[in-house]
Amino acid sequence: MILRIALAATLVSFAAPATALAQQPGETLNFGIEWRFVRAGDAQVKWSGDSRAELVLRTTGIVASLYSVLDTYHSTYDPGLCITAISLEAHEGRRNRDVKVTFDREKKRAHFLEKDLNTGATATNKEIDVPACAHDVMGGLHKLRQLRPAIGKSVELPISDGKKIIMAKVEAQQRETITTPLGQFSAIRYEAFLFNGVFYGRKGRLLIWITEDEKRLPIQVRIQLPFYVGTITLQLEKTQ
């Protein structure tokens, strides 16, 4: 659960692009996940232009033997990365869930339906009001890569998972040099203010590093949680 929150939280959307990123027909980003100095899992993000995205997250090694996670998340978008539908099949330990969310942009409503795959019972079934154009946690990273806010500036945008809607804030904090399996990069560090009861109830900080070159690659993500959980770091290992 923590690993899924860690990656999902990194993919928050934040505002219309100030400088457009050249779009590719498709893109795959592979991340390695470290927790308490061990390899904890892998995450793969696939983009089909600006219309579809997929996230597959799994635990590996000793972490998988303690707590197995295999989550598959799909999302679809209208132009502008306005979310239209979300699906999640989550297998986390003994908990197995199926989530479907639809966004009706004309009626400005989102419908969230969660079922327990172990029993077939409906766990959650609710609707909320949303803006005509909302963003999910997957569309966000793509949107953030299109932004070039000046260091010290922040932007906001409505974010929804179908259960709640918030005005998410992200701040461009400073320039840093980051070393990853792909090499050394000059990057901007951003902080997304989603924890501490904003979007996620857990206390913590979410930091994202994006390269300054024209590719604007998200090369590192760090979730700083209380000491009894620790820090989770994702680093980009491969692009396609």
- Provide the residue ranges of all domains of the chain, joining segments of one domain with +: 2-239
Q: Is the dihedral of CA 141, 146, 152, 155 positive or negative?
A: negative
pTM of the predicted protein model: 0.88
* Ranges of the chain with pLDDT below 70: 1-25
DSSP 85-110: EEEEEEEETTEEEEEEEEEETTTTEE
Question: Residue 191: in which H helix or E strand, if any?
Answer: strand 183-192
Per-residue pLDDT at 25: 63
End-to-end CA distance of the chain: 27
Q: Which residues have C-beta within 8 Å of that of residue 60, sequence separation ≥ 6?
A: 39, 40, 41, 42
Report d(CA 212, CA 209) in Å as an integer.
Answer: 9
- Residue 50 has a pLDDT of 81
Count CA atoms closer than 13 A to 218's CA, side-chain side: 30
Q: What pLDDT digit, counting tens, does each position of 37-92 carry?
A: 999 999 999 999 889 999 999 999 999 999 999 999 999 999 988 999 999 999 99
Q: What is the DSSP letter of 177?
A: E
* Cα(193)–Cα(172) distance, integer angstroms: 12
Q: In the prediction, which pLDDT does 218 show?
A: 93
Composition of the chain by helix, strand, coil, percent to 5: 10, 55, 35
State phi, psi for 9 to the nearest 5 degrees: -65, -25
Measured from the Cβ of residue 42, the count of other Cβ atoms closer than 10 Å reads 17
Q: What single letter denotes the amino acid at residue 85?
A: A
Instruction: Summarize pLDDT for 111-124 with one digit per residue, the tens.
Output: 999 999 999 999 99
Burial of 237 (0-12, 13-18, 19+ CB in 10 A): middle
Maximum Cα–Cα distance across the chain = 50
pLDDT recorded at residue 7: 46
Tokens of 24: 């590719």
